[in-house]
Structure 1
Amino acid sequence: MRFVRRRRDPVEVNLTPLIDVVFLLLIFFMVSTTFETRQALELTLPESVTGTDLERSPVTLVVTEQGGYRLGERELAAAGLGEALAAEADLARQHGLVVEADARAAHADVVRALDQAGALGIQRVRIATREASPPPQPTETP
């Protein structure tokens, strides 16, 4: 006896739903991923011609020429900077932090202070400057 064989259609994989799922996953990961934004460190030199007066912040960190720090009335070493700044962090987050660095202070000491402030979530950091003296005018000789 002869059985009639059913003719099978060739097997095809429909890629449309697969592509839809891949695009949805891509959109999900793009939206849910946090991107690290690198912000340039903009330093204002200790002497500035274009500096503007701003209101005084209740939290001021002084960087001395010798690499020491002073927060309020307390003298600090580099090791104690993190703890002292953490105690003032709430006030600094609210009103901002002013860094008064000596013109001859090492760059590494200033960066250490800015790094500690960033680690504590202090985003409003200003660097204090002084007004530049005008350059001397050349004198004319006859």
Structure 2
Amino acid sequence: MTRRLRRRHRDADPITFDFAPMVDVVLLLLIFFFLTSTLGARQNALPLDLPRASSSVQETPDLPVVSVNRAGQIFLNGKETTLTRLGALLRPLAATSGGVVGLRADEGGRYGTVVGVMDEIKKAGGTRLALGTETPEAAP
């Protein structure tokens, strides 16, 4: 009987823990959180003084957004562009969003620049505008 116990104990494999799958999962989670944190903040990165509106609807995050700051600089999804290049850059984005384009313009900006941007959005295939405003609850 003692021989049996000794043999069974010698044949058993030592217990090991493989860390490779756990490291893979942790790295994938880190990559996911880095990407989502940078993509989610793209539209609010520009400091704009938006006009206030008492009624508004939550903005859809997958719309292409054109922003115009107080100095008249134009941004498409957070990247600076010019009025002449805006149409070419916006055309494929407007097609994938069903013609809906977001427009965020600083309250103190030039009216002529905003109208020029609206004209380029229309030429690029934008059929509907989602205007960015600040709700009274979000106001400081």
* TM-score normalised by the chain length of structure 1: 0.54
2:118 to 97, 114, 118: 114
Larger Rg over CA atoms: 1
Residues 55 and 88 of structure 1: is their aligned pair in 2 closer, same or farther, counting only changes over 3 Å?
A: closer
Q: Which digits, 9 at most, give the CA deviation of each residue in 1:86-118, with x for residues without a partner?
A: 2423124x1611101111111111111111111
- How high is the sequence identity, in percent, across the aligned residues? 20
Consecutive aligned runs of 4 or more in structure 1 exceeding 3 Å deviation: none
Whole-angstrom distance in 2 between the partners of 1:132 and 1:63: 21
Counterpart position of 1:68: 73
1:82 to 77, 87, 93: 87
Whole-angstrom distance in 2 between the partners of 1:95 and 1:89: 5
Structure 1 unaligned residues grouped into runs of 5+? 1-44, 134-142
- Normalized per residue, which structure has more helix? 2
Q: Which digits, 9 at most, give the CA deviation of each residue in 1:3-44, with x for residues without a partner?
A: xxxxxxxxxxxxxxxxxxxxxxxxxxxxxxxxxxxxxxxxxx
* TM-score normalised by the chain length of structure 2: 0.55
Q: CA RMSD in A?
A: 2.3
Given residue 129 of structure 2, which amino acid in structure 1 is its aligned partner? V
Residue aligned with 2:67, SS: strand
Counterpart position of 1:91: 96
- Count the aligned residue pairs: 89
Whole-angstrom distance in 1 between the partners of 2:94 and 2:55: 29
Residue aligned with 1:48, SS: coil
